Amino acid sequence: MITNTTTAHLTSEQIEEFGRELDSMREEVIDSRGERDRSYILRLIRIQRSLALAGRLWIFASLLFLPAWRSGLAGGAAFWGVLVAGVLMLALAKILENMEIGHNILHAQWDWMMDPDVQSSTWEWDHACPSDQWMHSHNVVHHTWTNVHGKDRDIGYGMLRVTDDQRWHPFYVLNPLNAVMMALFFEWFICLHDLELNKMVAGKKSFARVRRLLVGIWHKVLRQARKDFVLWPALGAVLALPLASVGAGPSPLAVLLIVMAANAAACIVRNVWTFVIIFCGHFPSGVHHFPREAVDGETRGGWYLRQLLGSCNIEGGPTFHVLSGNLSHQIEHHLFPDLPSNRYPELAPRVRALAVRYGLPYNTGSLTRQFGSTMANIVRLSLPLQGPAWMGASGTRRQRSI
Amino acid sequence: MPHHELSSPRPKGYRLLGPLGRMADRFAYPLRLSHYAELINPLWAAHRLQARVVEVWDETRDARTLTLKPGIGWRRHRAGQHVRVGLAVDGRQYTRTYTISSAPQRDDGCFTITVKSIRGGRISSHLAGKVRVGDHLAISLPQGIFFLPDAQPVLPLFVTAGSGVTPAMAMLRSLIAQERLPDTVHIHYAPHELDVIFGRELHNMASEHRRYRLEQVFTRQHGTGQQISGHFTGEQLARLCPDWTRREVYACGPPGLLAALEEHFREAGRARHLHVERFLADFTELPADAVGGDVRFARSGVHATADQKTPLLRVAEDAGLNPPHGCRMGICHSCDTRLLSGCVRDLRNGKVISETGSIVQPCVSAAAGNCELDL
C-alpha cells in the first residue's frame, strides 16, 4: 500500500472509498455507451482513411509541379507547397490511426459495439509493432505496473534515464542524444520493446522466446516497409516512366526517391508527435514513481491511486485531444483504459474534483510545461546530479511503502 | 484481418479486381483496397458484404418489406433461402436471420426481406420501424436448404402462418417468373383478412393462375383479437387439401404449427415429404432437475454464472465477449466451439453433451453444471 506525505492523510478505508467512487463513474459510462459513441469512432475511421488516401495522392500531385515537367504552372514553391501538404495529410492520417483509433481499439474500448470490423482481437494498426505484441507490452505490462520500478518497462523504455530512481550509469551521458533518436524512430523502439533484448543478453530470456516474437515483427515490418518505401514510390516511378521516355518529366528515379522521402517524412512526423505526447504521460516533473514493494497486496483502491499519481494530463482544445488520441487525458485513460476515449473529456473534470475532495494531486499543465519539464529532466539525469530546488526535491517523486 | 462470419461473404482470398487486387491490397496494408473502395460506395466493399435499403413498404401494421441492393460479393439466392442481416441498435451490432421474400429472377439485382416486428423484439422492431431508405445493413450470402428441387417436378403444398409466408412467396414468385408453376395448394394462417402479409398479391395470384389454389384460415376477430377458428388439425388438412398425400409439403411458421404438422405427418408415415423452415429454434422442455453452473470461457479467460436455460452465446455476450455468431438458432454453425470440460445441454432436444472435445453450438446450448468452452 502506498504511503507518503501525498497520501498519508488517507486511511486504507478512505482509499477504498476513493476506488468505489471511480468504479461508479466507470459503471455510469458503461451503461450510457450507445449510438453517439459508435458514430464518433466510425466517422473518425472514415475521415482517417480518406486523409491517408488524399495525402498519398497529393504527394503524387506535387510531382506535376516539379520544374522538369516544363509545365506553365511549374515552380519550386508550388512543388514544395503541395508536397508538404501531402506529407502532413499522410502524417495526420498515421497519427489518427495510431493514437485515437488504433491505440484505443487495441485497448478493447470499442469491443462493446460488437462490430466485426472494429474489434481488439482482429484490428491491425498502421505501425511497425504487431498489434498482439503491443497489446502485451502496453495493455498488460505497462497498464498493470504503471510507474513501478523493475516492473513497468515503459519507464525510459530501457534506454533513457527519466527519474532519479534509476541508478546512474555512464551510458546515460547519451540521454539527450538517445531521446532525439527515440523521438525520430519511436515506432521502431516500440516495435522492439517487447523483445526485452537486455534480458536476453543477461541470459534471463531464452532466444527461442525472442525468436517467436521476431517472426511476428519480421512479418509486420516487411509489409509496412514494403508499402511505404517500395510500392508507393515504385508506383510513382512507373507513372513517370511514359513521360520520361519522351523527355517530358523528371526521371523515374527522382520520383521514386521523392515519394520515398515524403513517406519517410510522414512517418517521422508521426513518430515525433507520438513521442512528445507519450513522454508527457508519465515523466513530467511532479509525477510519482513507485518501488516494487509498493504493489505488494495492492487493492483496487490502491491501484486507482497509483494510476492517478503516476499519470499526467496535458491541457488543450478538443482538436488537440483527438490528435493526442485523448492521451492528453492520460490520468483518465489510466484509470479507465477500456472506456471509449471520446468520453475522457467529460470524465476529466469529475476525476479532478474527486482528487481535490480526497486531497490528492492531479498533475496537469500545458504541453510546454509537461514536455519542457520532461526534457529538462532527461538532460539533467544524463549526469549523476540531484534535481534543483525549483523542480521539487527531485524531478519526479518516489513513493515509499509500508 | 480475420473476420467474423458475417463479414467474410466469400471464401478467403476473394478480392476486388481479382488477382490484380492482391497487389493492390499490399498498397493498403494493414487494410485492403476494399476498405478504401468502401469510402466511395459501401457496396463496393469486398471485406464485408453490405446492402443498401432502396425501398420500404408496409405489408401490414407490423410487417415491412425492405428492398435491398446487395454489394458486389453477392451471389444469387435460391427461392426459399434466408440471409443473415446485421444492424446496429443503440451502438451495438446484432445479427438476425430473415427469409428472402423476392424471386431470384428479379432483374434489378435487388432482393427483399419481410420483417414482422415481434413484440419486445428490439432488432425486428428496429428493422421494421426505424431503418430508412439509404441506410446500409451488413448481410451474409444466402444460405439454407429450404428450396424446391430444380428440375424434378413436384406438386407442392405450402402450409404457412404469419410471416412464415415469406419463403413460400419467394418460391411462388420464382415459379411464376419461370412460367413453370405446377398445380399448387397453399394453406395460409393469418389473424384476419386485413392482416395478411402479401394479402393482395396472394389474392391476385389465385385469381390469375388457375393452378394456384389459396386456402386462407383466419384465426382472430378484428378489434377484439379473440380466437375464432382453430389452428392446424388433420381433418382441416383433409378438408382444405384432399390430395395432401400426393404432395410435397413445404411449411414455415411458429413452432406450434410445425410441431403439429410434424406429428401428423409422422403418424401418416409421410415425414419424408414434409420440409420445414423454422424461424425460431424449437427448444424442448427442460427436466425439472436441470441446473446451470459456472462457465469458463478459456480463450478469453472470462468466468460467468449461467442458469440452465440461457443459451451460452447469450451468457458470453453478457459477460462482455463477442464470439462470432450468425443465426442464433442452431442452423448456421457460425458460433460452433469446442467443449473443453464439463457438461452442456442442447436446448433443442434436451440432450446433455459431456464428451470433452465435442463441438457445441453455444446459441442453442445451455450450461448443465459447470463447463468450459474454447471461446
- For the stretch B81-114, pLDDT in tens is 999 899 999 999 888 889 999 999 998 999 999 9
Q: Which residues of A touch B92 (CB under 8 A)?
A: 38, 112-114
Say if A332 falls within a structural domain: yes
Q: B301 and chain A: CB distance < 8 Å anywhere?
A: no
Of the three residues B139, B170, B192, the one that is the final residue of a domain is: B139
Query: Are B212 and B125 part of one and the same domain?
Result: no
Phi-psi region of A297 (alpha: psi -120 to 50; beta: other; left: phi over 0): left
The answer as to whether B287 is a domain residue is: no
Does A352 lie at the interface with B, CB-CB under 8 angstroms? no
CA distance A52 to chain B (A): 10
Interface test with chain B among A115, A231, A338, by most B beta carbons within 10 Å: A115
Residue B295's pLDDT is 94
Q: Which residues of A touch B90 (CB under 8 A)?
A: 34-35
Q: Where in the sequence is the domain holding A298, given as residue range(s)?
A: 2-202+209-243+268-401
Q: Per-residue pLDDT tens for A302-341?
A: 999 999 999 999 999 999 999 999 999 999 999 999 999 9
Q: Has residue A232 been placed in a domain?
A: yes
- Whether residue B196 is found in the same domain as residue B300: no
Note whether B52 and B105 are same-domain residues: yes
pLDDT at B9: 39
B:90-119 residues touching chain A, CB 8 A cutoff: 90-94
A114, B322: Cβ pair inside 8 Å?
yes
Q: What is the pLDDT of residue B327?
A: 74
Residue A248 domain-assigned (yes or no): no
Q: Are residues B224 and B298 in the same domain?
A: no
The CA distances from residue B371 to A12, A37, B70, B292, B346, in Å, are 38, 35, 40, 9, 13
User: Is B149 within the bounds of a domain?
Assistant: no
What pLDDT is recorded for position A71?
54
**Chain B residues within an 8 Å CB radius of A49:** 31, 35-36, 39
What's the rounded mean pLDDT across residues B328-337? 80
Tell me the three state secondary structure of residue B97: strand
Q: Please, what is the average pLDDT of chain B?
A: 88
Query: For position B234, what pLDDT does the model report?
Result: 92
CATH code of the domain in which B209 resides = 3.40.50.80
What's the domain count of chain A? Answer: 1
Say if residue B14's pLDDT is above 60.
no
Span B246-302, pLDDT tens digits: 999 999 998 889 999 999 999 999 999 999 988 766 677 788 888 889 999 988 888
**Residues of A with Cβ-Cβ distance to B138 under 8 angstroms:** 116
Residue B282: predicted pLDDT: 64
Residue spans of beta strands (DSSP E) within A271-375: 288-289, 313-314, 364-365
The rounded radius of gyration (Å) of the Cα atoms in chain A is: 23
What pLDDT score does A73 carry? 52
Quickly state the pLDDT bin for B3 (edges 50, 70, 90): very low
| Burial class, B223, CB count within 10 angstroms (exposed 0-12 / middle 13-18 / buried 19+) | exposed
- Same domain? For B271 and B297 the reply is no
Query: Kind and range of the H or E element at B126?
Result: helix B122-129
A235 falls within a domain: yes
Mean pLDDT split into 10-residue runs, chain A, 402 residues: 69 95 96 96 98 96 76 70 96 98 96 89 93 91 92 88 89 94 94 78 78 91 96 94 78 92 97 97 93 90 95 97 97 97 97 96 96 94 72 49 34
Instruction: Tell me: do B20 and B133 sit in the same domain.
Output: yes
| B97 and B173 in a common domain | no
Rg (CA), chain B: 22
- Cβ-based neighbours of A355, under 8 Å, separated by 6 or more: A308, A361, A362
Same domain? For B266 and B327 the reply is: no
Tell me the pLDDT band of B7, cut-offs 50, 70 and 90: very low
> pLDDT value at position A249?
72
pLDDT at A395: 44
Q: Cβ of B93 and A231 within 8 Å? A: no
- Tell me if A90 is assigned to some domain: yes
Query: What is the predicted pLDDT for the residue at A202?
Result: 74
* Total residue length of chain B: 375
Q: How far apart are CA B59 and CA A86, in angstroms?
A: 52
Interface test with B, best of A46, A57, A117 (most B CBs within 10 A): A117
- pLDDT, tens digit, for every residue of B182-238? 999 999 999 888 889 999 999 999 999 999 999 999 988 777 777 777 788 999 999
CATH of the domain at B336: 3.10.20.30
Q: Is residue A181 part of a domain?
A: yes
Number of domains observed in the structure of chain B: 3
Q: Say what the pLDDT of residue A74 is.
A: 52
Of A135, A277, A124, residue with least CA distance to B35: A124
- Given a contact cutoff of 8 angstroms between Cβ atoms, the answer to whether A139 and A232 are in contact is no
Same domain, yes or no: B75 and B98 = yes
Structural domain contains residue A335: yes
Distance CA A147, CA A287 (A): 9
Q: Please tell me the predicted confidence (pLDDT) of residue B281.
A: 64
Which domain-ending residue is among B236, B251, B278?
Answer: B278
User: Domain range for residue B272?
Assistant: 156-278
Assess whether B71 and B185 both reside in one domain.
no
Measured in whole angstroms, how far is the alpha carbon of residue B210 from the centre of its chain? 31
Amino acid symbol at A232: W
Sign, CA dihedral B161-B165-B171-B173, equals positive
Residue A263 placed within a domain: no
| Residues whose CB is less than 8 angstroms from the CB of residue A179 and which lie 6 or more positions away in sequence, other chains included | A160, A375, A378
Torsion of CA B77, B83, B87, B89, to 10 degrees: 150
Euclidean distance between CA atoms A7 and A2, whole angstroms: 7
Q: Do B191 and B274 belong together in one domain?
A: yes
**Three-state DSSP string of chain A:** CEECCCCCCCCHHHHHHHHHHHHHHHHHHHHHCCHHHHHHHHHHHHHHHHHHHHHHHHHHHHHHHCHHHCCCCCCHHHHHHHHHHHHHHHHHHHHHHHHHHHHHHHCCCCHHHCCCCCCCCCCCCCCCCCHHHHHHHHHHHHHHCCCECCCCCCCHHHCCCCCCCCCCCHHHHHHHHHHHHHHHCHHHHHHHHCCCHHHHHCCCCCHHHHHHHHHHHHHHHHHHHHHHHHHHHHHHHHHHHHHHHCCCCCCHHHHHHHHHHHHHHHHHHHHHHHHHHHHHHHCCCCCEEECHHHHCCCCHHHHHHHHHHCCCEECCCHHHHHHCCCHHHHHHHHHCCCCCHHHHHHHHHHHHHHHHHCCCCCCEECHHHHHHHHHHHHHHCCCCCCCCHHHCCCCCEECEEC
Q: Which of A71-85, A310-324, B4-18, B57-71 has the lowest mean pLDDT?
A: B4-18
Over 70: is that where the pLDDT of B128 sits?
Answer: yes
The sign of the CA dihedral A276, A281, A282, A284 is positive
Q: How far is A232 from chain B (nearest CA, A)?
A: 7
